[in-house]
Structure 1
Amino acid sequence: MKTAVILSTYNAPDRLRPTLVGYAAQTHRDFELIVADDGSTGATRELIKDVSSQFSLPIKHVWHEDQGFRKCRILNQAIASTGADYLIFSDGDCIPRADFVATHLERARPGRFLSGGYFKLSAKASSRITAEDILAGHALDPQWLIANGMPRSRKLGRLACSPWRAGLMNAITPTRPTWNGHNASGWRSDMIRINGFDERMAYWAQDREFGERLENSGVRGLQIRYSAICVHLHHERPYKTKESRERNQQIRRDTRRMRARWTVHGIHKSPAPESDALMITPADDVTVMRYA
């Protein structure tokens, strides 16, 4: 099956670079890499070009103008830009372990989406990771991280679980599988059937509503948080507001109460059609650039 990895970003080229290097180091390389860019300046475009050239990594850059937080819209445009059957989503500040893509594909199942998590790095450890460390696998090695400023924690064991133990932990964890935009995957056809992400969502758990509509449509989550591993680079979040949280919570309450499958605020700005045969292409104001 054709596969695409979609990474969201906004004006963070210093964090996007190590993330892209992580995808250059994947054991499974047969995928399309798409950067869904919510209006970054030219520095991000130049960074993508540079990494693509340096690591022979084909990258598609999907961009729209900066008009405030519109992450859900650019993710929808990234979905529209690809014909891949299976889509893996993460953020442009999450370095994947070398088997990240392979793990998602090994566990993909019809009628399911996969729910992963991340491990948060300290500011000190984040600042010390180089491209060479990522290619060598050090950035996800607990001992290397401790030696480079990461406080000791039992949670570090998640980064080095054996496949058997990871499977056991996935099965017994009380954390329910939800759509987590930093580490989740599913079938493009299922995403189109629910009309993609709700573009009204501001920052704060905006991805969860997408997963709730998938579940309402009959697509159930599978837990892989101990198997598909990525580490989150440290940064501040000045865009978090009480208002955005309350707005998103209300939209999610409405989705759960109505058991909504479709949003009129998604890819198509219209009620659900009678037929599933929906054709989508990027909007006219979206720029799609390819680097190889």
Structure 2
Amino acid sequence: MRISVILSTYNSPVWLWKVLCGYDCQSYRDFDLIIADDGSTEDTREIVERFQAESSIPIKHVWHEDNGFRKTEILNKAISASRADYLVISDGDCVPRSDFVDTHRRHARPAHFLCATYYKLTMAVSEAVTEPHIRSGQAFDFKWLHGQGQPKSMKRLRLVAGPMLGSLLNRITPTKANWSGANSSGWRDDILRVNGFDERMKYGGEDKELGDRLKNNGIRPIRLRYSAICLHLEHARGYVDPESYRRNQMIRHETRRGRLVWTPYGIEKANHADNGQHRAA
């Protein structure tokens, strides 16, 4: 099974380097990286080139011009650029634990997608985490994180739960299972059958709408919230727009109400304008 890890990013080279260091430390290494770059400046290209020079993990940089928040478009371009069987999709601000890719690989099942989440760090702790902390695994030790100022909460179970407790928590968590742009995976063919992400959608729920169409098409979710672990590095969110979020919610409502499985605003466009009304049988 060939695996591609797709990471979305936009003008966050320092955070992206920390994330790439996490992928360089993976216990399972038979995968490639695709950076889905929503219009970053040269700093990001230099980070990718540095990783190419220093790591044995293959990496590809997929970029388009900065024209506002177009994450769904660049993700679709990255999906098209991949030749893998299986896609792990995350963000360039989510540092993976060393077993992250292997966890997705081991849990992959036909006609299913995997959905997880992240453990969110404060800004101060995000800045305190360095490359040596990531490479040593110390960044995933809650006692160390707490010593840097990370507050205690029940969410720390995502870091401290072992395999048995984590498996139990994955099953009983009340959180509805759906695609998460920060930490999900699925078969590339399944994603292509629903035409990838809906490019009308801006920030807020664009990932979950893909999950809605996958589920409408018979692809069932499996939760890995306490097994596939990554740290979310905090950042500003200047792209948040209430009006865009409202439009996204309307698109999601249409997808769920109509049980739509295909978007005509996805990877394929020109010859599929009539496919927007494809519904689950």
Equivalent positions of 1:206-217 (< 5 A) are 206-217=206-217
> How many Å separate the matches in 1 of 2:28 and 2:47?
23
Contact persistence 1:6–1:34 (CA under 8 A):
yes
Q: Tell me, yes or no, if the aligned pair for 1:119 and 1:232 is still in contact at 8 Å.
A: yes
Q: Secondary structure, in 3 states, of the residue corresponding to 2:110?
A: coil
> CA–CA distance in 1 between the matches of 2:50 and 2:274?
41
Q: Does 1:156 align with 2:156?
A: yes
Quickly say closer, same or farther: Cα 1:70–1:228, change in 2 above 3 A: same
Give the CA deviation at 1:241.
1.3
Aligned to 1:282: none
In angstroms, what is the RMSD of aligned CA positions?
1.1
Q: Percent identity?
A: 53
CA distance in 2, matches of 1:188, 1:215: 15
Residue 182 of structure 1 is matched in structure 2 by 182
One-letter amino acid of the counterpart of residue 51, structure 2: V
* Deviation sequence 1:223-248 (CA, Å, 0-9, x none): 11111000100111121111111010
Distance 2:187 2:66 in 1: 29
What is the CA-CA distance between 1:176 and the residue it aligns to?
1.6
Q: Secondary structure at the match of 1:185?
A: strand
1:54 aligns with 54
Deviations 1:166-218 (A, max 9, x none): 00000111112110010000000001101110000011121000000000110
Deviation digits for residues 85-142 of structure 1 (CA, Å, limit 9, x no counterpart) = 0000000000001000000010000000001011100111111111111010011110
How far apart in 2 are the matches of 1:33 and 1:141?
26
Structure with more relative contact order (C-alpha pairs < 8 Å, separation 6 or more): 1
Aligned twin of 2:278:
none
Q: Do residues 12 (structure 1) and 12 (structure 2) align?
A: yes
Alignment match, 1:128 = 128
1:5, 1:33 within 8 Å by CA — same for their partners in 2?
A: yes
Rounded to whole Å, the distance in 1 between the matches of 2:222 and 2:176 is 9
Matching of residues 1-292 of structure 1 within 5 Å: 1-269=1-269, 270-271=272-273
How much has 1:53 moved relative to structure 2? Answer: 1.7
TM-score (norm 1): 0.91
How many residues end up aligned between the 2 structures? 273
Q: Distance in 1 between matches of 2:157 and 2:226?
A: 10
Distance (whole Å) between structure 2 residues aligned to residue 153 and residue 212 of structure 1: 30
1:272 Cα deviation after fit: 6.5
Structure 1 residue 144 displacement after superposition: 1.0
Q: Does the 8 Å CA contact 2:31/2:58 hold for their aligned counterparts?
A: no
How far off is 1:54 after superposition?
2.6
The answer to whether the 8 A contact 2:111-2:218 is kept is yes
CA distance in 2 between counterparts of 1:54 and 1:86 reads: 25
Does the 8 Å contact 1:4/1:32 carry over to 2? yes
The equivalent of 2:279 in structure 1 is: none
The corresponding residue for 1:288 is none
Q: Which residue identity is paired with 1:12?
A: S
Question: CA contact under 8 A between 2:213 and 2:259: conserved in structure 1?
Answer: yes
In the alignment, structure 1 segments of 5+ residues that lack a partner are 274-292
* Preserved contact between residue 21 and residue 55 of structure 1 (Cα < 8 Å): no
> Residue type of the partner of 1:115?
C
Distance 1:260 1:162 in 2: 38
Letter in 2 for 1:71: K
Q: Report the secondary structure of 2:67's partner residue.
A: coil
Partner of 1:277: none
Whole-angstrom CA distance in 1 between matches of 2:156 and 2:192 = 36
Structure 2: tracts of 5 or more residues without a match = 276-281
CA contact (8 A) 1:15 1:92 kept: yes
In 2, Cα distance between equivalents of 1:3 and 1:224: 18
TM-score with structure 2 setting the length: 0.95
The answer (yes or no) to whether the contact 1:142–1:157 under 8 Å persists in 2 is: no
**Structure-2 separation of matches of 1:238 and 1:42:** 20
